Structure 1
Amino acid sequence: MTAREQLIQEIAQAPDFLVEEVLDFLLFSKLIREQNISVSEPTSLPEQKSKPIWEIFEEFTSILPEEVISQLPVDGSAQVDHYLYGTPKQE
């Protein structure tokens, strides 16, 4: 049995979440090979100019409708556990 045949057989029996992970890995591997990028050498990766987080936030909030902004919590930093995990709000 070839590796391709064995892979197809295993995929047929795997749960969907695992198939999605395998697909992501396969697409990533193909991309790396097509671009001749060496993962072990970080200096060979293309440089990306990233924006500071506050600029990204400003761009994002500028496109939010006012009705959405008005529904955002004003105590998000103080009550982070409540909003993320559903714990009771702290005084």
Structure 2
Amino acid sequence: MRTLNRDAVGDFVLDSAFLAERLGTDLEALRRGMRLGQVTSRVEQGNGKDAGRIRITVRAPQAAWQAILDQTGEILSEKVVTAQDQPGST
């Protein structure tokens, strides 16, 4: 699987093209959404049975991408939920 890189302070760095592909959008639309604050991310450290794992979630208007990583940044699993898959969408 793919390994995500970290910057000098330890934050994960996601390649825009990689992320756009996962979210089912084009690169310019993703960048526009980021500028407008429509793309958000969250990083969570696992506890208990998930200790040593990291969950990254990136939400955009059309979809959300979620990956489970190990401590080295290797993607162990990932999934995409599109807007039409989410409860309450039409």
Q: Tell me whether the two structures share a fold, i.e. TM-score over 0.5.
A: no
Tell me which of the two structures has the higher relative contact order, counting C-alpha pairs closer than 8 angstroms and 6 or more residues apart.
Answer: 2
- Pairwise TM-score range, normalised by the shorter structure: under 0.3
- Give TM-score, length-normalised by structure 1: 0.20
Q: Which has the higher helix share?
A: 1
Report which of the two structures shows the higher radius of gyration computed on alpha carbons: 1
